[in-house]
Structure 1
Amino acid sequence: MTKKISPHNKNNKLKIVSKNENIKSSAMRLKTIVITVLLLFMILIGRIVYIEFFYTVDGKKLKEKAYLQSTQNKILTAKRGTIFDRNGKTLALSADVDTITVNPAYLKVKKNAVVDQVATNEKIAKIADKIVELFGADKDTIINKLKSNKPTETLVSKVEKTKIDELTKWLKENKYTSGINIDPDTKRYYPYNNLASHVIGFVGSDNQGLEGIENRYDVTLRGKEGRLTTAVDVTRDEIPDNHQEYIAPENGSNVYLTIDSNIQIIAEKYLKQAVEESKSEKGGNVIIMNPTNGDILAMATYPDYNLNTPMTITTMKQDEYNKLSTQEQTNKLYQMWRNRAVVDTYEPGSTFKTITAAIALEENLAKTDTPGDFNCIGYEEIANTKIRCTAVAGHGKETLRQALENSCNPALMQLGRRIGAEKFYKYLKAFGMFESTGIDLPSEGNSTFWPENKVGPIELATMSFGQRFKITPIQMVRAASALANNGELVTPRLVKQIENTNTGTITETKIDNVRKVVSKETSDKIRDMMHSVVENGGGRNAQVKGYEIGGKTGTSEADPNHPEEGYVSSFLAIAPVENTKLTVLLTLYKPQVKNHYGGHIAAPAVAQMLSEILPYLNIPSNISTDNVQSANITVPNVTNKKISDVKKQLKELKLQPDTKAPDDEIVKEQVPPSGTKLMENGIVKLYTNEYNTRVSKEVPNLKGKTLQQAKAELESRNLNISAEGTGIIISQEITSGKQVDEGTVIRVKLQEKISNSQH
């Protein structure tokens, strides 16, 4: 049955309108699609045209990007040069290690080209756990680096090969070969820990020299990095048997110092002892230089620090250090690393009187032995100011020689007046007081003097005896060395030669004779008067049996503007007086003992150094071998006694106690044992429950040496000697090369040389 539609029915009208709208909507959609397709087509055509005609530079970049994605670059670290002492003993060396890095993007686990975050996190957690297990790193830090958005992160630096092998095996077993890289690296080692720490310096984590020789000769030691470029697949694994581009690293050069490690050991031993016995709050330093060529044979600052752990503070207690702010801790470390012998300035005090005397002699303003040339009444009045002598009652009439023996300030002030400011400053310049010495170390300090036109009578008076101006210890040593070297000023040097490890070429450091300061005649007179100071004056404590020593004491008062600095006590020595081979300056800062004068606390330490160093250098003694003291001091039993009491007991016997333990600890063991016979200055090692670390030393070859030479060499290693016979050593009980504990007694046999006439 057919249904009729009435034209007057409203519902029928609505249905007709709806149908028209559908037709319009379809047309609109079709139009939109056509326009979109046309736009996309136009963009595509435009992009093709752009790339074809305008995209030459970016096309190159695309090539580079493709190359980088298909290759991998590894930096090949150059091996840093070795630092040796003058005799070829290794003081700093680099060993092969590895550094672990990560490319975080290659750790992501993907399924169907989509990152599986759960699986990725599980993988990262496992890798982090293994890194922490093997290398003790902080887990949160490692996880953050593994998840980093950076192309590369360093996970662990400079680790040993054994642990690397274990990690590599684990990564392969777990199929984590992509993203974790083992890069060859080097690590710096210092075999003697604290020895010459302020001279050698150390390197940072990037192998860049930060202090000392490591810093000054960084470019020479560092060498040049190489590179290895290899092809890799999509997982960043190397493609075997594929082309590699290899640029070899150029290893750094070796540096040979002028330092003699045996002399350095002796210097450090007695410097430490002097600082501790004088209770010098700000430590001390010592320089030993050959005045003829500028070679620094030893240079030490105490407290020192361990070059293998330079971030560990040694100048204060660790718990006190931990309470400081980060900036304060940094400042304390920088202070600990400072080589005060070169960087810091001080008032030289009476050691400088040698310079004033030399100026007067050179200018014919005084003679060494003119009776009554000077008159000391206990003070000198200058511009209505009384400047006093240490001898309150005065020294009376004096010669120049006596004035130096007495270290008389009024006599030197009178001498300064004769010289005058103009001549005084002329010679200050000649002696190098207004310039750096040129020593091959960083951050050499600058002297501080009054401008010449500001120097009045009082300034000239105080300067004449070494106060109210500041110089560095190395400047004082350089100037004093000119007096010992016939008036020739030389540049101090710490590097003897440099060896290019790639070519084998050796470059010697030239001796730099700067200028003639005073005549040989003046030099001879000063050395002679310095000898009188040691024989008859305030330097008696610097006498060494069998040798003629010259010297001058020094004690400078605190600067009135900086009373917290305290006294500076020092002793300047030349040895021997004739044909001088050594200039020595030992300086102690802010000593807290009652008798703080340099002749009392610094001179004895210098004498102890020279008593070992001079025989070691084969400098002839005026004592025959027969007169060398035999082992006749019996070591007592000192166990179960306080360290403080034991130190006193051993020193009274003229034996040297050696321990790191504080004075209130109890001795539990001693080396050598009680009943052992030792020579004067023999070493007794003391151990407590808390401080019981043994240090072993290599026994040297003593055959052919005199007893004095052998004694000096063994003492430099904290070893003792016992001898039978006279002459030269023909045998030793413990063979050379063997390692023994410090304090061990090495027994030797001596025999007289047989002359040709006896054959």
Structure 2
Amino acid sequence: MKNKTYNKRKILVVFVVAAIIILALVGRLIYLMVFDAKYYQKKAEDLHEREREIKAARGEILDARGEVLATNKTVCTISVIHSQIREPEKVIKTLAEALEMDEAVVRKRVEKVSSMERIKTNVDKETGDNIRNMELDGVKVDEDFKRYYPYNELASKVLGFTGGDNQGIIGLEVKYEEYLKGKNGTILTTTDARGVELNGVAEDRVEPVAGNTLQISIDYNIQMYAQQMAEKVMEEKQADKVGILLMNPQNGEILAMVNVPEFNLNDPFTLNSGADSASMSDEERQNALNQMWRNGCINDTYEPGSTFKAITASACLEAGAVRLEDTFSCPGYRVVEDRKIRCHKVGGHGGENFVQGIQNSCNPVFIDIGLRLGTDNFYKYFKQFGLMDLTGVDLPGEAGTIMHKKENVGMVELATMSFGQSFQVTPMQMATTFSALINGGRRVTPHFGVRILDGQGKEVEEFKYEEEKGIVSAETSATMRMLLESVVSEGSGKNAYIEGYSIGGKTATSQTLPRSANKYISSFIGFAPADNPQVLGMCVIYNPQGIYYGGTIAAPVIRNIFESILPYLGIEKE
């Protein structure tokens, strides 16, 4: 009786446990079928759906007059779906031949078991259409877009380029990515359990949305002519590189930015130096490419030399450290502490007033007024003029000023800084600061981006840029325009003179470090008309051979450019 009672209890326990398990399973089944049905229905659909991306057309980049500088070219992406291939050998051989690829590479991709395997991207449309017409089972040909630059090397280091995924890598392409990129679409197809697409079942398409158009301030004609002038002087002087910058000093719009040698935007991974990249390591090749892509106008710093004297003069006039009628004596050098600092004119300029000192670009004159100004005031105006900040130009990678700490500046350092040595700035910084000195004292933000347009050419957004007033007084600005005009009409900048136009400007010749290498940077900054500047031009020539004086080789470059673009911009001769 005890055994029977025990067995009955045992059976009852097993029954109850089994009943609980069954009830739990039923409850779970009801939950899945009723309350979680949408989730699993979606999972089931996903197993029978294949999604292919439709690339959105990237927005174009237009110049100031509507000329297309960057657009799109239709290309194809060739892919295979492993489960749908019926004749793998035929597919491998055909694709290898049509795409001019190694058969082993194609075989590896075709035989890979995956939902979809990409064979090659950026295939020209004609080849893609030919492959599509072959109607090979399992081979898909999707149309795509590749960035195309109609003028190849024009403004290459400004425009930048895109990668294989059509995303911006450098320049304006990456800076304005959010406006240009657009939104990709999709194609959804239904498959059976084996992954084979079902015939007769309609595709679901989500159409792509094209990116917006960016209009910039660069003028194609001005950029092209400036680039030709830069290439010409680089060849004539066997220089390492040449930079030219043209901008409107009143509002900061950049009309041209040239950095020769430029590179081919449609082939940005081929070195423009002619070097054999095949013999380089991956790191060496990448470093060479990075150097080729660098925009020297904003990424590289240099000692500005005598063009900086205009900034020293402005600070001294503002502080009352000098007057136009002040007189100086130049014996060809000035002794500061234990250092003998020479003037570019070995025999000296003799007696001269301040106006003549700036016309002659006399180092002793600027040493004298720099020492009068003092270290504290020098740094005060250096900061006030914006030289310690970035310009804010709308390109990535802008370099900052390299400057002594104030506590480390002695009399010798102050003397050399007064005529533009022993610190470094970018050409963009010099052009921006120079603009503030001649436009009435307003520090404008240099920029390329003007507006965003939609696909129909309607304005979506107009860009606004910051402007800081009171950099110098209107009186000091007017005095500087007069002084710099006299540099061209009577002084060291006479090679920039154009009959019928009032041109202002300043020349410079600076020696690079180490000084023993005897390498120079020749430059000139000019503007026109002198009384109401509408265009500022800057030319920087790195390591010219032979005659290297800025007034001799850089000033004529800006003169030639101004002779062509001033009438083009509607600035009439006086």
Structure 2 matches for 1:528-543, cutoff 5 A? 528-543=482-497
Q: 1:619 to 1:367 in 2, by over 3 A?
A: same
Q: 2: distance between equivalents of 1:247 and 1:47? A: 46
Cα shift readout 1:66-114 (whole Å, capped 9, x = no counterpart): 323322212121111000001000000113332112233443x5xxxxx
Q: 2: distance between equivalents of 1:513 and 1:619? A: 25
Aligned to 2:529: 576
Aligned to 1:94: 72
Aligned to 1:140: 104
The Cα shift of 1:149 comes to 3.6
For residue 422 of structure 1, give the secondary structure of its aligned residue in structure 2: helix
Q: 1: distance between equivalents of 2:475 and 2:419? A: 23
Aligned to 1:598: 550
Q: 2: distance between equivalents of 1:324 and 1:161? A: 33
The Cα shift of 1:233 comes to 4.1
Identity of aligned residues (%): 38
For residue 208 of structure 1, give the secondary structure of its aligned residue in structure 2: coil
Q: 1: distance between equivalents of 2:21 and 2:505? A: 89
The code of the aligned residue for 1:581 comes to Q
Q: 1: distance between equivalents of 2:270 and 2:176? A: 24
Aligned to 2:137: 177
The 10-residue stretch of structure 1 (221-230 or 563-572) with the greater mean CA deviation from structure 2: 563-572
Is contact 2:497-2:503 (8 Å) kept? yes
Q: 1:47 to 1:600 in 2, by over 3 A?
A: farther
Determine if the alignment matches structure 1 residue 271 to structure 2 residue 224: no
Q: 2: distance between equivalents of 1:103 and 1:51? A: 39
Q: 1:50 to 1:563 in 2, by over 3 A?
A: farther
Is contact 2:522-2:548 (8 Å) kept? yes
The Cα shift of 1:64 comes to 4.8
Aligned to 1:385: 339
For residue 142 of structure 2, give the secondary structure of its aligned residue in structure 1: strand
For residue 469 of structure 2, give the secondary structure of its aligned residue in structure 1: strand
Q: 1:377 to 1:503 in 2, by over 3 A?
A: closer
Structure 2 matches for 1:676-687, cutoff 5 A? none
Cα shift readout 1:283-325 (whole Å, capped 9, x = no counterpart): 02111010001000000101001100111111x2233x43222
Q: 1: distance between equivalents of 2:517 and 2:41? A: 68
Determine if the alignment matches structure 1 residue 609 to structure 2 residue 561: yes
Q: 1: distance between equivalents of 2:106 and 2:20? A: 48
The code of the aligned residue for 1:78 comes to A
The Cα shift of 1:48 comes to 8.8
Aligned to 1:362: 318
Determine if the alignment matches structure 1 residue 618 to structure 2 residue 570: yes
Aligned to 2:255: 297
1:398 aligned to which of 345, 352, 361: 352
Q: 2: distance between equivalents of 1:52 and 1:589? A: 83
The 10-residue stretch of structure 1 (69-78 or 435-444) with the greater mean CA deviation from structure 2: 69-78
| Structure 2 unaligned spans of 5+ | 1-18
For residue 298 of structure 2, give the secondary structure of its aligned residue in structure 1: coil
The Cα shift of 1:134 comes to 2.1
Aligned to 2:45: 67
Aligned to 1:104: 82
Is contact 1:468-1:559 (8 Å) kept? no
Determine if the alignment matches structure 1 residue 342 to structure 2 residue 298: yes
Is contact 1:104-1:145 (8 Å) kept? no
Is contact 2:115-2:195 (8 Å) kept? no
Determine if the alignment matches structure 1 residue 259 to structure 2 residue 251: no
2:274 aligned to which of 317, 320, 334: 317
Q: 1:102 to 1:244 in 2, by over 3 A?
A: closer
The code of the aligned residue for 2:179 comes to T
Q: 1: distance between equivalents of 2:133 and 2:23? A: 53
Aligned to 2:190: 231
The code of the aligned residue for 1:198 comes to K
Aligned to 2:15: none
The Cα shift of 1:137 comes to 2.4
Aligned to 1:520: 474
The Cα shift of 1:493 comes to 0.9
Q: 1: distance between equivalents of 2:329 and 2:25? A: 100
Q: 2: distance between equivalents of 1:51 and 1:287? A: 77
2:180 aligned to which of 216, 221, 226: 221
For residue 189 of structure 2, give the secondary structure of its aligned residue in structure 1: strand
The Cα shift of 1:448 comes to 0.6
Q: 2: distance between equivalents of 1:84 and 1:503? A: 11
Q: 1:149 to 1:61 in 2, by over 3 A?
A: farther
Structure 1 or 2, whichever has the larger Rg, is 1
Structure 2 matches for 1:127-206, cutoff 5 A? 127-170=91-134, 172=135, 176-178=136-138, 180-206=139-165
Cα shift readout 1:195-235 (whole Å, capped 9, x = no counterpart): 11111000001001001100111121001222232323457
Q: Which has the higher contact order (CA 8 A, sep 6+)?
A: 2
Is contact 1:104-1:150 (8 Å) kept? yes
Cα shift readout 1:241-261 (whole Å, capped 9, x = no counterpart): 645543332221100000001
1:588 aligned to which of 497, 516, 541: 541
Aligned to 2:61: 83
The code of the aligned residue for 2:291 comes to Q
Is contact 1:250-1:502 (8 Å) kept? no
For residue 297 of structure 2, give the secondary structure of its aligned residue in structure 1: coil
For residue 516 of structure 1, give the secondary structure of its aligned residue in structure 2: coil
The 10-residue stretch of structure 1 (301-310 or 128-137) with the greater mean CA deviation from structure 2: 128-137
Q: 1:284 to 1:47 in 2, by over 3 A?
A: farther
Determine if the alignment matches structure 1 residue 492 to structure 2 residue 446: yes
Q: 1:381 to 1:130 in 2, by over 3 A?
A: same
For residue 535 of structure 1, give the secondary structure of its aligned residue in structure 2: helix
Is contact 1:177-1:237 (8 Å) kept? no
Q: 2: distance between equivalents of 1:160 and 1:498? A: 30
Q: Normalization by structure 1: what TM-score?
A: 0.69
Q: Normalization by structure 2: what TM-score?
A: 0.91
